[in-house]
Structure 1
Amino acid sequence: MSARARRDVQLAAGDVELTVRPGLGCRIGSLRVEGRELLRQGDEHGSFPMVPWCGRVDRGRFRDGAELHELPVNHPPHAIHGTGRDAVWSTARSDKASASFFYDLTAPWPRPGRVTQTLDLTEESLTLSMSVEAESDSFPAQAGWHPWFARNLGRGGADVEIAFEPAWQEERGDDHLPTGRRIPRTAGPWDDCFGMPDGVDVLLTWPGELELRVSSRAEWVVVYDEQADWVCVEPQSGPPNGLNTLPRLVTPIDPLEISTTWTWRVL
């Protein structure tokens, strides 16, 4: 890994500070709004891109036409969250409040391609954009983000409240994969995928402290709040195991593109 690849990238806008770690899967290592750290710290946390798939792939296997591909089972019995979070990304450009990064898909992913992620920061928002491009042969892929938000901001305030109105919830089987049946939203805690066909719209409120809205034109979001200290709101281009159940084909002339915007307001 080159020194440039290892080097964290710092962005800032007003009283907002953000750290990107291209050498650790191009994850956001820190997001501070007026001194409040919003993300879980650590090399495996922060907020990382999920690419070229999101969530679990059934037993690490998916078909691309007649071909059966096998991915490393890194969360037995499934493969989970893609290879991008484990890759070293290259910094294409960076300035005070914006940066762009890329990495090339290699084994264990079976097809060549390039993934690009861009971050644009303002005093009120962060916009993340990602694209997956096929180099030659087409392939199914997914993309999304997995942020770990603090349940409590550590300033004596109340825990975060999560508000969203999905059109449906994907029923989760005993194997943690969607069964294919759509059901009304259940009461939390959740480790579940929800359909929002008009676009992802989830509001996180730390009462008396901060509001943060996660929005995206993507139609799928996973909400995970089973841990005591952290919650995750994950906009993504398809449901878990979507490489098998809802494949989105990436071709040399039709890349997969997705974006999300986090907008905050200090209360």
Structure 2
Amino acid sequence: MSSSEKDVRLSVGDAELTVNPANGCRISSLRIGGTELLRQGERYGCFPMVPWCGRTENGQFRNGGVLHRMPLTAPPHAIHGTGRDTAWKTARETGTEASFYYDLADPWPYPGRVTQTFELADDSLTLAFGIETYGDSFPAQAGWHPWFRRNLGGEDVRIDFDPAWQEERGEDHLPTGRRIPPLAGPWDDAFGMPDGVHVTLTWPEQLELTVKSRTEWVVVYDEQAEAVCVEPQSGPPNGLNTAPQYVTPIEPLEIATTWSWRSL
């Protein structure tokens, strides 16, 4: 087994993080004081959404006049990018920090490199993405899809946030383009937070965890009994078509998020 296939474990104080580069460079475990925060399973944990986030309509997007088609991984759409289904390589690890990368390849039509870094402290975890091109400019997105356990053994988690708007969701699960006042959950919805993402998860009498990012987009998904998802991302679902952000030879796409926690 090469080093790129081995799990990478970081620990500081009572915080322990395990990253599985061979399985899409996902966080397979985040333990605070011995308590697992993430839903377990090879499709869960916290996986990267890259080079797009959420659903891309009919698996299609344009770059200028060129139409590209991605595999329909959530028919009739393509969902969550290709990074989660790719084996990443370990670039460095220090015990408290680690970085990984993979080179974009089929079915993604443009050459480039994606990097993901993890920095663990005793009360926080900072994640960061960079996407660079080896040639032509192309639209892209990046974000994270954590599956936080709804229940850690006490009361169910409470989600608190104050978005400026909610993207109206059509029957095809894509944003319609209308911005509406935020609705009560349950959610599988995108929200705008123009001052930066700030969402607090509270497991009463156990733990408070805050997800922050300078990006203005977050998707909240809490329709499953086992877990809730708070997904900071660089653009809205279907954003390759509706709000494209370009990776250029002089400007990579960069996004970061910090999760901070405290015991209650």
TM-score band (shorter)?
over 0.9
> Deviation per CA, 1:4-25, whole angstroms, max 9, x where unpaired?
2220000000011010000000
Correspondence 1:131-146 to 2 at 5 A: 131-146=130-145
Partner residue, 1:120: 119
2:208 to 193, 206, 211: 211
Partner of 2:100: 101
State the distance in 2 between where 1:67 and 1:199 align: 33
Identity %: 69
Q: Of 159, 170, 183, which aligns to 1:173?
A: 170
Which of 178, 189, 197 is residue 200 of structure 1 equivalent to? 197
Q: Look up the match of 1:249.
A: 246
Report the AA paired with residue 187 of structure 2. Answer: W
Structure 1 moving runs of 4+ over 2 Å: none
Among 152, 159, 170, which residue is 2:156 paired with? 159
Query: Deviations for 1:194-245, whole angstroms, at most 9, x for unmatched residues?
Result: 0000000000000000000000001100000000110000000000000000
Task: Supply the distance in 2 between the matched residues of 1:229 and 1:69 (Cα, whole angstroms).
Answer: 36
Partner residue in 2 for 1:237: 234
Give 1:3 deviation, angstroms.
2.4
Query: Does 2:191 match 1:190?
Result: no
Q: Is the 8 A contact 2:5 2:89 kept in 1?
A: no
Q: Secondary structure at the match of 2:147?
A: strand
Q: TM-score, normalised by structure 2?
A: 0.99
1:18-167 matches, cutoff 5 A: 18-154=17-153, 157-167=154-164
Superposed, which structure 2 residues align to 1:9-20 within 5 Å?
9-20=8-19
Deviation of 1:96 (Å): 1.0
CA separation in 1, counterparts of 2:74 and 2:155?
33
Aligned-CA RMSD value: 0.6
The Cα shift of 1:178 comes to 0.1
Per-residue displacement from partner, 1:130-162 (whole Å, max 9, x unpaired)? 0000111110000000000000012xx100000
Counterparts of 1:175 and 1:254, CA distance in 2:
33
TM-score normalised to the size of structure 1? Answer: 0.98
Structure 1 residue runs without a partner (length 5+)? none
* 1:103-134, Cα deviation, whole Å (9 max, x unpaired): 00000000000000000000000000000001
CA deviation digits over 1:151-200, x for unaligned, max 9? 0012xx10000000000000000000000000001010000000000000
**Number of equivalent positions:** 264
